[in-house]
Amino acid sequence: MLAIKFRRIGKKHQASYRVVVMEKKSKLGGKFLEDLGFYNPHTKESQINNERILHWIKNGAKPTDTVHNLLISKSVLEGKKISVHARIKKGEEAVKTEMVNK
């Protein structure tokens, strides 16, 4: 399954991200199919190829939650943003309940 993800680049403490299409379970440093743009969280600067993103979504690629939120804020997609922090907390709660049940 294909995913549209962030791929981290840049020096320590100066992260910048490339928006790429790659296999969902592949390593972030691995090969990617296409580079779709970039995002710099420090300056909030981004450049995204809207046509290619829509092309990949039509062909079955799913954006990760954070990329989905970026695409909504840049008006590439319509809809509501996904709460990324809530998903992390749900995962932590599941681990805690498994430990309590043992």
- Give residue-wise pLDDT tens across range 11-35: 999 999 999 999 999 887 889 999 9
> What tens digit of pLDDT does each residue of 37-93 get?
999 999 999 999 999 999 999 999 999 999 999 999 998 999 999 888 766 655 555
Residue ranges of the domains in the chain?
Answer: 2-101
Per the DSSP assignment, residues forming a β-bridge with 21 are: 4, 34
Of 37, 97, 102, 48, which is closest to residue 75 (Cα–Cα)? 48
Q: Sign of the CA dihedral 70, 61, 86, 28?
A: negative
What is the pLDDT, as a whole number, of residue 91?
Answer: 56
- pTM for this model (two decimals): 0.78
Q: CATH number for the 2-101 domain, one of 3.30.1320.10, 3.40.50.720, 3.30.530.20, 3.40.190.10?
A: 3.30.1320.10
What is the pLDDT, as a whole number, of residue 93?
Answer: 59
